[in-house]
Structure 1
Amino acid sequence: MYLFDPHHVRPLFPALSELVAGRQAVFFDAPGGTQVPQMVIDAISDYLTRRNANTHGAFLTSQRTDETLAAAHAAMADLLGCAPHETVFGANMTSLTFALSRALGRTWGPGDEIIVTRLDHDANVAPWRALEERGVTIREVDVDVEDCTLDMASFAALLSPRTRLVAVGYASNAVGTINDVATIVRQARQVGALTFVDAVHYAPHGPIDVQALDCDFLACSVYKFFGPHVGVLYGKAEHLERLQPYKVRPAANTSPERWMTGTQNHEGLAGTVAAVAYLASLAQPDSANRRTAIQEAMQSIQAYERTLSERLVSGLLQIPGLTFYGLREPERFAARTPTVSFRLEGYTPRAITEALAARGIFAWDGNYYALSLSERLGVEAHGGMVRIGLAHYHTVEEVEYLLAELEQLATTH
């Protein structure tokens, strides 16, 4: 594994040169959507210039669009470790999850159970709760409020022969916790349950291998890993071919086309190919193939981001009046992404993000759709939390700037 250098990639991202308050803006809003490299912008522009057409036509631009879709399926297959026909595109992860839950729900009813968690984004909760209208029972895994990790004993107790599906996040978009997905999938399979993994937050921070996980479904969003707004769903071929999606006629009835409703975001898919190519480009030039290059790059990104996490968390814990949520011990940081949430005494979360914004630091406040967690932590009625989300294009200097500004806010209130 090579040593990652953020200063090598920063010039590739035009947005990072934005000036606020006389200095380069600090984009700590990454969990809500990362910035994109120029090669992604160029790919989108090139599609709209040279390939803009609908699919399956006899003419050149339509043929180029068909090639773009095929390239996008192949690119996501290399990112996730699956076959191209096991990748489905849609408007976003939420829409894809609702479509899948509706298809799965055709055959479920009273007596069937689905397990969700209090750590998840609501996009991996609400689509499954919607099946309550069919009589399905929803069970919810609790969290340990001390470190914001899943209560695995609670999960094991909820599993039963009635469990039809377990929906779990790969990592929390609110507090960064990386769940033990491999164990969850294995235990779910022991009772015959399907598994759906929300990898939206995890995807920009670590390698994904759906075959090794053996999950049945996994979803992510390209705009969370340096690309445009496109949702992606992985499904085992056996499920995509067996299940009946809600689909207009006379559209194709073979996977993955049968799952992709309406005309796709073709320029977004061109950007998707470029986003995956960008990640592969971060590996050493002697990588055997794109899949290997992506895995190597993500491992190096993961190692670099851990150093940022260690400095960020240690600095936050030293600020007076700051309440920190999530894993804080460096020896446990393999189980977290560089995303943290906190509250600061004397300020609402919105007051903090407004003060940071005036200093050129972009951060989120609220619950970030992790509603169940915000309620469980007792902060939902008080404005939620402040979230700082790092990516591989961030630097230690930016972390130090944030810590200095928060220290000033804490000591001058």
Structure 2
Amino acid sequence: MKTAKSNYPITKVREQFPALKRTYKDKTVAYFDGPGGSQVVGTAIQAITNYMEKGGANLHGAFPSSWETEKVISEARLAVADFLNVQANEVAFGANMTTLTIAIANALGKNFKAGDEVVVTEMDHRANIDPWIMMAEDRGLTVRWIKVDAETKTLDLTQLDELINEKTKIVAIGMASNAIGTVVDLKPFAERAKKVGALLVADAVHAAPHLPIDRDEMQVDILLCSAYKFFGPHIGIVAIKEELFKHLQPYKLTTSPDYYPDKLETGTQNHEGIAGIPSAIEFFAQFGEGETRRERILNGIEEVEKHENALANRLREGLSAIEGVTVTQAGANVPKTPTVAFQVSNIKPGDICKTLAEEHSIFVAAGHFYASTLGDVLSVNDSGGWVRAGLAPYNTEEEVERLIAAIKNL
């Protein structure tokens, strides 16, 4: 079990997030809603402001603000390339992960025919399920589901060879559950997908703030994440393998670029938001050591993870000791993100969130968090889903104890 380093610079970290100064009901707010969207690091806010104050512009103009916009996008692609260990020309931006996935699914669907198959899981956020189901319905494909083992809170691999077969074209897997934190080992899915010639699509939205990511090492063809989950602006990100990207034919205007990655970026992009991405990634790098930004990012994520996991372990321990509280989690041998989902007997999750906000200035969320199939499998949707508390680099031991005490008071 990892424990927090005594020299973790929590004061320095918190100083970097302006939102942490907020008070509610005369108390300093404790943010535990990071899995739904983290607070934004001040350097990213400043980068967004700087771009807008200097004067924004569209691309391909013969004037400085247009050139500067192109440089902003280029620098963001390079930062993402170091973050995910991909090539900069494989990185595209969009409104969010959901919008990008729908566009990619529709583009890939042009190459499929009735009788082909796609594979999704009961664990995933619907953003990595429904785009593939909608495409399958339009093209006459068969949808197969990898089930969740309700006891272990992990994916059931017993029928993997039957589910991923010679007819399979797409295997869509989440790297980690945004609802209950289970980290998924992609290796068996990648190996099976490659054996039958299927594409592997990985949803890294929840994983990106907590786990080191190497798309090619994981044998992933299409990897998606969102900057607003790792301390940046609301921008969706996708990294598509170059050979696949070259031949992708997304729906777009006839006058928009035919070259990648631009051909996937329909319309004018959120340039000011894109300007904030490098600073969000640099947040991790500041904790790390190494000669390259990639090395510093990986080392930095490791240091942050120690702090987050120590807090998450304390929260799980504290909540589990309270009578009437049920924590939904995989076993101790299963890696988890610092995301804790729980229920309290005879109290609706939504009511718990209201009480925590109004009486304790603690911000947490309730529901199925778009992992609705998982909620059905684990029989929590009818009772309002879970209360979900997510740990971030800026959370403190005091905040965790405050949350535990507040649940005891219920």
If the TM-score is normalised by the length of the shorter chain, which range does it land in?
over 0.9
Return the letter of the residue paired with 1:231.
G
Moved more, 88-97 or 16-25: 16-25
- Identify which of 25, 28, 33 aligns with 2:32: 28
Q: Could you tell me how far 1:51 is from its partner in structure 2?
A: 4.0
- Identify which of 243, 252, 260 aligns with 2:248: 243
The answer on whether the counterparts of 1:93 and 1:231 sit within 8 Å (CA) in structure 2 is: yes
Q: 1:85 to 1:273 in 2, by over 3 A?
A: same
Q: Could you tell me how far 1:133 is from its partner in structure 2?
A: 2.3
The equivalent of 1:176 in structure 2 is 181
The equivalent of 2:92 in structure 1 is 88
The equivalent of 1:393 in structure 2 is 394
Q: Could you tell me how far 1:7 is from its partner in structure 2?
A: 2.5
Return the letter of the residue paired with 2:391.
L
Which string of whole-angstrom CA distances, capped at 9 and with x for unpartnered residues, describes residues 192-249 of structure 1?
A: 1110000000000111111211200000000000000000011000011012111112
The equivalent of 1:357 in structure 2 is 357
The equivalent of 1:7 in structure 2 is 11
Q: Could you tell me how far 1:388 is from its partner in structure 2?
A: 0.7
State yes or no: 1:303 paired with 2:326.
no
The equivalent of 1:323 in structure 2 is 326
The equivalent of 1:337 in structure 2 is 337
Q: Distance in 2 between matches of 1:161 and 1:5?
A: 51
Q: Could you tell me how far 1:58 is from its partner in structure 2?
A: 0.4
The answer on whether the counterparts of 1:51 and 1:62 sit within 8 Å (CA) in structure 2 is: no
The equivalent of 1:278 in structure 2 is 283
Q: Could you tell me how far 1:183 is from its partner in structure 2?
A: 2.5
Return the letter of the residue paired with 2:156.
D
The equivalent of 2:70 in structure 1 is 66
State yes or no: 1:189 paired with 2:194.
yes
- Identify which of 100, 104, 113 aligns with 1:100: 104
- TM-score calculated relative to the size of structure 2: 0.96
SS of residue in 2 equivalent to 1:140: strand
The equivalent of 2:53 in structure 1 is 49
Return the letter of the residue paired with 2:60.
H
The equivalent of 2:132 in structure 1 is 128
Q: Could you tell me how far 1:109 is from its partner in structure 2?
A: 2.1
Q: Distance in 2 between matches of 1:154 and 1:352?
A: 39
Q: Which runs of 5+ in 2 are unaligned?
A: none
SS of residue in 1 equivalent to 2:327: strand
Alignment size in residue pairs: 404
Q: Distance in 2 between matches of 1:147 and 1:44?
A: 43
Which string of whole-angstrom CA distances, capped at 9 and with x for unpartnered residues, describes residues 359-397 of structure 1?
A: 111011011111110111111122111111111111111
Q: Distance in 1 between matches of 2:195 and 2:99?
A: 29
Q: Could you tell me how far 1:148 is from its partner in structure 2?
A: 1.6
Moved more, 372-381 or 89-98: 372-381
State yes or no: 1:292 paired with 2:295.
yes
Q: Distance in 1 between matches of 2:156 and 2:340?
A: 20
1:148-167 correspondence to structure 2 within 5 Å: 148-167=153-172
Return the letter of the residue paired with 1:224.
K
User: Percent identity of the aligned residues?
Assistant: 42
Q: Could you tell me how far 1:23 is from its partner in structure 2?
A: 2.4
Q: Could you tell me how far 1:26 is from its partner in structure 2?
A: 0.7
Q: 1:288 to 1:65 in 2, by over 3 A?
A: same
The equivalent of 1:403 in structure 2 is 404
SS of residue in 2 equivalent to 1:195: strand
Supply the RMSD in Å over aligned alpha carbons.
1.4
The equivalent of 2:219 in structure 1 is 214
Q: Which runs of 5+ in 1 are unaligned?
A: none
Which string of whole-angstrom CA distances, capped at 9 and with x for unpartnered residues, describes residues 229-271 of structure 1?
A: 0000110000110121111122221111111111010000001
Return the letter of the residue paired with 2:192.
Q
Q: Could you tell me how far 1:182 is from its partner in structure 2?
A: 2.4
Which string of whole-angstrom CA distances, capped at 9 and with x for unpartnered residues, describes residues 30-63 of structure 1?
A: 0010001111111000000114111110001111
SS of residue in 1 equivalent to 2:158: helix
Q: Distance in 1 between matches of 2:31 and 2:161?
A: 39
State yes or no: 1:18 paired with 2:22.
yes
Q: Distance in 2 between matches of 1:295 and 1:186?
A: 25
SS of residue in 2 equivalent to 1:212: coil
The answer on whether the counterparts of 1:86 and 1:255 sit within 8 Å (CA) in structure 2 is: yes
- TM-score calculated relative to the size of structure 1: 0.95
Q: Distance in 2 between matches of 1:346 and 1:393?
A: 32
SS of residue in 2 equivalent to 1:115: strand
Which string of whole-angstrom CA distances, capped at 9 and with x for unpartnered residues, describes residues 162-204 of structure 1?
A: 1111100010000000000122212211111110000000000
Q: Distance in 2 between matches of 1:201 and 1:79?
A: 15
- Identify which of 107, 113, 116 aligns with 2:117: 113
Return the letter of the residue paired with 2:323.
P
The answer on whether the counterparts of 1:51 and 1:64 sit within 8 Å (CA) in structure 2 is: no
The answer on whether the counterparts of 1:313 and 1:328 sit within 8 Å (CA) in structure 2 is: no
The answer on whether the counterparts of 1:206 and 1:298 sit within 8 Å (CA) in structure 2 is: yes
The answer on whether the counterparts of 1:365 and 1:384 sit within 8 Å (CA) in structure 2 is: yes
Q: Distance in 2 between matches of 1:29 and 1:195?
A: 29
Q: Could you tell me how far 1:328 is from its partner in structure 2?
A: 4.8
The equivalent of 2:373 in structure 1 is 372
